[in-house]
């Protein structure tokens, strides 16, 4: 094997994996800050704002705290399993990211072709389903090894919940696979481009089932029974502290990002711009020049002081200022930026915008809904989601059969 | 109110479209942009009502700046907690008495305000319920307020971010 091929097949994938694994914790740290901010604002109070400008350094402080905290292991616990559990939880969560395409078109670095995804396999969806259900082992092991009744109860609830919601999760995906005729993530998005419509329209029922089941799979509010803090202290990670707790935490948020990415890819056209086939909107392809300042400005404005009720106004002001900057760049071609029409960047921008929306949905749900009771959870899963997702599969099949 | 089982087309539609869930989402979305109500004490302080009853203090005459208290011992007598301790002496010119020391033990004071009611000085009472409320201390002695503290109060500490 010559050097060229060696780099292409070994070094570049390693670099891609490293990039994802290194960027992810930072993203998650700030996702946590955004979660606390959004929850705070929804409850008409201030969120963290003591560390750094409006709390922007809070995630760093939290990470440092978790890293240097004492790592206690309960005396009566099973030491080996207790240490193994967080690792078993975090590895499948990270592994699921391997098949997520952030954009489609490869870009060139030092003459080598680099794809904006780690790998594209033709059974990506099945792989994600298989891998993400492995995460439950970590939860069960953690709950069992802690030798605490709260942990065990949390773990048992978690396993029952995962088994129930795995079914509608799988069925909801089938409709998309039937329409796209493939289980590869890249192929599914390309099929949406060819069809000229995001699959959320023909598959609205599927999207609905998938998103609810996915929220339940990630153990988030309103399905957070495994860690119901009002009943079970903290559920399966009651006994965990320091770095081991941080790993559970990392796994939970990674799963959220994975689920949001899959929703984006399956139902919202992945890296495609809105209305992918309308030529009049082709300028959206370069839209990141305009929208990145808008989103960043809007975010900073929203973060800034809400004392005078000016949060919304500041958000708009920041957004408009950012948009003006974007238009200026796009029009006057400052530093030749407008010529930078990199499809990968555009794809990553649209992709992350959609993913951020679904992450916001997660937090929004957490700020709004009370927790389900155990029997309600089971009733929703078995009596509503499973029949609905099967109905969706049958309906999609009929439509495909009739229209040929 | 008893929970009514879903009946009729409207209720079914309401249930299937998850109308109540959307309403809930709208409420939290809206509240995100309301001004926050947190007061960042001690950097900010709430505005007190004029009738707010903080720790009892003594005050000076508003015009000539002399002590108002005539050392009649009425507040000491009426105090249910026996937390007021007054030492007085006859004035050198022979008319009335004046304070030698006046102590209130805030460890025992229950902020009932009974000391203010019988105070005979008119129109302002010599002892009054002030607007001071920051009285934490590390030592027990810190809770026994001497005459000087009672008259001048304690300046609240200013905190900057």
How is chain B split into domains, by residue range?
Answer: 56-152
- Chain B nearest CA to A310, separation (Å): 7
H or E segment to which residue A141 belongs = helix A124-145
What secondary structure letter does DSSP report for A309?
S
Whether A312 and chain B come into contact, CB under 8 Å, resolves to: yes
Question: B144-145 and B127-129: which strand pairing?
Answer: unpaired
* Residue A76 domain-assigned (yes or no): yes
Residue carrying structure tokens 């109110």: B1
Give the DSSP per-residue string, A25-88: HHHHHHHHHHHHHHHHHHTTS--S-SSSGGGTTHHHHHHHHHHHS-----TTS-HHHHHHHHHH
- Indicate the average pLDDT of chain B: 82
Asked whether residue A184 falls in the same domain as residue A294, the answer is no
For A300, the domain range is 286-336
Residues of B with CB under 8 A from a CB of A: 21, 24-25, 27-29, 31-38, 40
Task: Give the model's pLDDT for residue A9.
Answer: 77
Q: Give me the residues paired with residue B58 across strands.
A: B127
Chain B residues in contact with A307 by the CB 8 A cut-off are 35-36
Asked whether residue A157 falls in the same domain as residue A251, the answer is yes
- Chain A nearest CA to B141, separation (Å): 34
Judged against a pLDDT cut of 70, whether residue A289 lies above it is answered with no
Percent of all residues in chain A with a pLDDT value above 70, rounded to a whole number: 82
Asked whether residue A294 falls in the same domain as residue A399, the answer is no
Judged against a pLDDT cut of 60, whether residue B1 lies above it is answered with no
Question: Which member of B25, B29, B36 has the closest CB to residue A44?
Answer: B36
- Summarize the confidence of residues A113-141 as an average pLDDT: 83
Asked whether residue A230 falls in the same domain as residue A291, the answer is no
Distance CA(A326)–CA(A328), nearest Å, equals 5
Minimal-distance CA residue of chain A relative to B20: A369
Chain A residues in contact with B37 by the CB 8 A cut-off are 44-45
Burial class (CB in 10 A: 0-12, 13-18, 19+), A60: middle
Chain A residues in contact with B17 by the CB 8 A cut-off are none
Question: Band of the pLDDT at A394, cuts 50, 70, 90?
Answer: very high
Minimal-distance CA residue of chain B relative to A37: B32
Q: Give me the residues paired with residue B128 across strands.
A: B57
- Chain B nearest CA to A292, separation (Å): 22
Asked whether residue A175 falls in the same domain as residue A213, the answer is yes
Question: Which member of A309, A367, A368 has the closest CB to residue B34?
Answer: A309
Site from B27, B32, B37, B160 to mutate, A interface, most A CB atoms within 10 angstroms:
B32
Asked whether residue A260 falls in the same domain as residue A308, the answer is no
Q: What is the SS3 string spanning chain B? A: CCCCCCCHHHHHHHHHCCHHHHHHHHHHHHHCCCCCCCCCCCCCCCCCCCCCCCCEEECECCCCCCECCCCCCHHHHHCCCCCEEEEEEECCCCCCEEEEEEEEECCCCCCCCCCCCCCCCCCCCCEEECCCCCCCCCCHHHHEECHHHHHHCCCCCCCCC
* Residue A94 domain-assigned (yes or no): yes
Max mean pLDDT among A210-224, A294-308, A332-346 falls in A210-224
- Summarize the confidence of residues B94-111 as an average pLDDT: 85
Asked whether residue A323 falls in the same domain as residue A178, the answer is no
Chain A residues in contact with B44 by the CB 8 A cut-off are none
- Summarize the confidence of residues B151-159 as an average pLDDT: 71
SS3 state of residue A128: helix
Chain A residues in contact with B40 by the CB 8 A cut-off are 46
Contact between chains at B28 and A368 (C-beta distance less than 8 A): yes
Site from A368, A370, A372 to mutate, B interface, most B CB atoms within 10 angstroms:
A368
Asked whether residue A166 falls in the same domain as residue A306, the answer is no
Asked whether residue A267 falls in the same domain as residue A170, the answer is yes
Task: Give the model's pLDDT for residue A268.
Answer: 87
Task: Give the model's pLDDT for residue A329.
Answer: 62
H or E segment to which residue A114 belongs = strand A112-114
Nearest to A98 by CA among A200, A41, A16, A175: A16
- Summarize the confidence of residues A319-342 as an average pLDDT: 61
Question: Band of the pLDDT at A170, cuts 50, 70, 90?
Answer: confident
Distance of CA A157 to the CA centre of its chain: 23
Question: Band of the pLDDT at A46, cuts 50, 70, 90?
Answer: confident
Max mean pLDDT among A105-109, A175-179, A310-314 falls in A175-179
Identify whether the C-beta of residue B78 lies closer than 8 Å to the C-beta of residue B110: no
Percent of all residues in chain A with a pLDDT value above 90, rounded to a whole number: 0
pTM, two decimal places: 0.79
Residues in chain A: 404
Asked whether residue A306 falls in the same domain as residue A388, the answer is no
Contact between chains at B31 and A42 (C-beta distance less than 8 A): yes
- Cβ-Cβ pairs closer than 8 A, A with B, add up to 47
Say if the ipTM goes beyond 0.90: no
Judged against a pLDDT cut of 70, whether residue A49 lies above it is answered with yes
Contact between chains at A306 and B36 (C-beta distance less than 8 A): yes
Asked whether residue A253 falls in the same domain as residue A145, the answer is yes
Judged against a pLDDT cut of 60, whether residue A356 lies above it is answered with yes
Phi, psi of B127 (to 5 degrees): -100, 140
- Chain A nearest CA to B18, separation (Å): 11
Nearest to A14 by CA among A112, A104, A135, A123: A112
For the domain covering B56-152, report its CATH number: 3.30.70.3270
Chain A residues in contact with B31 by the CB 8 A cut-off are 41-44
Judged against a pLDDT cut of 80, whether residue B154 lies above it is answered with no
Chain B residues in contact with A309 by the CB 8 A cut-off are 33-35
- Summarize the confidence of residues B139-147 as an average pLDDT: 82
Whether A222 and chain B come into contact, CB under 8 Å, resolves to: no
Number of structural domains, chain A? 2
Residue carrying structure tokens 């990968």: A344
Judged against a pLDDT cut of 60, whether residue A179 lies above it is answered with yes
End-to-end CA distance of chain A: 47
Contact between chains at A44 and B34 (C-beta distance less than 8 A): yes
Asked whether residue A181 falls in the same domain as residue A297, the answer is no
Minimal-distance CA residue of chain A relative to B26: A368
Taken in order B4, A370, A265, A176, the sign of the CA dihedral is: negative
Sequence-ordered list of residues with C-beta below 8 angstroms from that of B14, at least 6 positions apart, any chain: B6, B20
What secondary structure letter does DSSP report for A281?
G
Contact between chains at B35 and A46 (C-beta distance less than 8 A): no
Q: Which two tokens stand for residue A355?
A: 């993913």
pLDDT tens-digit series, residues A186-234: 888 888 888 878 888 888 888 888 988 888 888 888 888 777 666 777 7
């Amino acid at each position: 094997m010559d050097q060229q091929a060696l780099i292409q097949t070994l070094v570049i994938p390693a670099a891609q994996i490293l990039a994802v694994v290194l960027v992810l914790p930072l993203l998650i740290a700030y996702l946590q800050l955004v979660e606390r901010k959004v929850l705070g604002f929804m409850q008409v109070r201030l969120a963290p704002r003591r560390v750094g400008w409006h709390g922007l350094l809070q995630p760093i402080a939290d990470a440092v705290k978790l890293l240097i905290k004492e790592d206690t292991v309960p005396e009566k616990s099973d030491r080996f399993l207790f240490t193994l559990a967080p690792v078993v939880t975090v590895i499948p969560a990270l592994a699921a990211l391997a098949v997520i395409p952030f954009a489609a078109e490869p870009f060139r670095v030092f003459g080598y072709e680099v794809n904006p995804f780690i790998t594209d396999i033709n059974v990506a969806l099945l792989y994600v389903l298989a891998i993400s259900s492995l995460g439950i082992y970590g939860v069960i092991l953690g709950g069992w090894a802690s030798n605490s009744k709260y942990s065990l109860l949390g773990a048992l609830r978690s396993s029952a919940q995962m088994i129930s919601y795995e079914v509608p999760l799988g069925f909801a995906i089938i409709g998309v696979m039937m329409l796209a005729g493939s289980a590869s993530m890249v192929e599914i998005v390309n099929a949406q481009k060819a069809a000229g419509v995001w699959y959320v329209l023909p598959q609205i029922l599927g999207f609905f089932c998938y998103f609810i089941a996915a929220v339940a799979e990630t153990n988030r509010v309103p399905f957070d029974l495994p860690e119901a803090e009002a009943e079970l202290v903290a559920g399966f990670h009651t006994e965990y502290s320091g770095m081991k707790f941080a790993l559970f935490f990392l796994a939970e948020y990674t799963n959220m990002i994975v689920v949001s990415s899959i929703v984006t890819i399956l139902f919202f056209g992945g890296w495609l711009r809105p209305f992918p086939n309308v030529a009049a909107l082709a300028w959206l392809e370069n839209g990141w020049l305009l929208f990145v300042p808008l989103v960043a400005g809007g975010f900073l404005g929203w973060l800034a002081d809400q004392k005078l009720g000016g949060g919304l106004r500041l958000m708009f002001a920041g957004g408009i200022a950012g948009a003006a900057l974007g238009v200026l760049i796009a029009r006057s071609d400052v530093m030749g930026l407008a010529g930078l029409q990199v499809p990968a960047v555009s794809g990553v921008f649209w992709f992350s915008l959609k993913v951020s929306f679904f992450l916001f949905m997660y937090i929004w749900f957490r700020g709004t809904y009370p927790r389900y009771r155990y029997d309600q959870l089971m009733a929703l899963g078995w009596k509503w989601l499973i029949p609905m997702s099967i109905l969706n599969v049958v309906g999609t099949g009929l439509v495909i059969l009739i229209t040929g | 109110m008893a929970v009514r089982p879903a009946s009729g087309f409207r209720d079914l539609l309401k249930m299937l479209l998850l109308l109540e869930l959307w309403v809930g989402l709208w409420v939290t979305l809206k509240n995100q942009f309301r001004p926050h109500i947190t007061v960042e004490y001690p950097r900010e302080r709430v505005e007190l009502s004029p009738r707010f009853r903080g720790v009892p203090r003594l005050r000076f005459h508003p015009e000539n700046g002399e002590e108002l208290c005539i050392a009649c011992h009425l507040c000491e007598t009426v105090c249910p907690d026996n937390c007021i301790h007054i030492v007085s002496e006859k004035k050198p010119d022979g008319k009335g008495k004046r304070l030698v020391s006046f102590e209130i033990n805030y460890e025992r004071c229950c902020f009932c305000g009974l000391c203010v009611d019988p105070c005979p000085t008119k129109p302002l009472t010599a002892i009054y319920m002030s607007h001071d409320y920051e009285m934490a201390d590390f030592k027990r002695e810190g809770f026994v307020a001497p005459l000087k503290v009672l008259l001048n109060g304690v300046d609240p500490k200013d905190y900057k971010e």
